[in-house]
Structure 1
Amino acid sequence: MNLFKQLKIGVITLILALLSNTLQAQITNDITDNEAFKALLAAKKSAEENNVLVNIAVVDAGANLKAFIRMDESYLGSIDVAIKKAKTARYFNIDTGELGELTQPGGIIYNIELSNNGLVSFPGGLPIKNKEGKIIGAIGVSGGTIEQDRAIATIGAKSILN
């Protein structure tokens, strides 16, 4: 084999090795499991203190479910809603209640909730930011009133900043 072919094979091997390491590297702005559980437990504590039975979902930066709890006797239908609130908040990096204001008839994104296998555009979903202000995931809460859901989610989202 001539020197040029050996060099070419060596370069291709090096590129493939670098790419495989890059593809397997964890996203640096992703919520950790400890942060996800901290947010989940802070939200759960708030719900318990206010006697509200809820489902709480935390998703990572890719909108994949990272942590979830269904409080005893909370609504079964709220399981899906909590997860979709968290995903919706992450998909658009916005409070789901604020998104809902834009989705009303005549709004600039009317009917967007029909996309992405169903979005939830009422309060209770919030992006979660780290201390540097980067979005690392989102939290969704469902089972109380929309005001209760939003308040509980807010406590969960802010808990990782402490």
Structure 2
Amino acid sequence: METTQKQAAQALNQATEKARQIGVNANIAILDTAGYLKGFLRMDNAFLGSIDIALGKARTAMLFRMNSEAVGEFLRPEARAYGMVSTSGGLVGFKGGMSVKAAGEIVAYIGVSGGSPDQDFDIATAGSVL
């Protein structure tokens, strides 16, 4: 399904509202189902270093169709997939990347960075259901 501009904006708005509620200045990326950037917001005072992390979390979720932290389980040294983190232009295996669904179908992927992994997860979750 093609990601619409309206869906991307709605996901960004919902995630931004959650970030404001919990006091986190976040970078929020929305990728379409093919992995191309559909929407992005850098909240005021969000860390510059978190821009690439937000994009990486969304891309990691898109590439494997699972939350970024679930991919992280494969990246642990004891999982014996050492080096996988460097594939596909780099993977980000901690909380904050997931699918965005509308009517039960994946329409996009969201990645959030700027707070703790748990805060990023909460912000992404807020933008993940349309």
C-alpha separation in 1, matches of 2:87 and 2:66: 16
Which one has a bigger Cα radius of gyration? 1
1:81 to 32, 45, 53: 53
Is the alpha carbon distance of 1:155 and 1:108 closer, same or farther for their aligned partners in structure 2, counting shifts above 3 Å? farther
Which residue does the alignment assign to 2:87? 115
Structure 2 unaligned residues grouped into runs of 5+: none
**1:31 positional shift:** 1.5
Residue-by-residue CA offset, 1:80-99 (whole Å, 9 max, x unaligned) = 11011111111110100111
**1:125 positional shift:** 0.2
Q: Which has the higher contact order (CA 8 A, sep 6+)?
A: 2
C-alpha separation in 2, matches of 1:129 and 1:48: 22
C-alpha separation in 2, matches of 1:82 and 1:63: 13
Question: CA RMSD, aligned part only?
Answer: 1.1
The percent identity for this pair of structures is 41
Which residue does the alignment assign to 1:93? 65
Residue 41, structure 1, aligned to residue 25, structure 2: no
Residue-by-residue CA offset, 1:11-64 (whole Å, 9 max, x unaligned) = xxxxxxxxxxxxxxxxxx122110011000100000001110100000001000
Letter in 1 for 2:116: T
Question: Which of the two has greater strand per residue?
Answer: 2
TM-score scaled by length of structure 1: 0.77
Alignment of 1:6-85 (within 5 A): 29-85=1-57
Structure 1 unaligned residues grouped into runs of 5+: 1-28
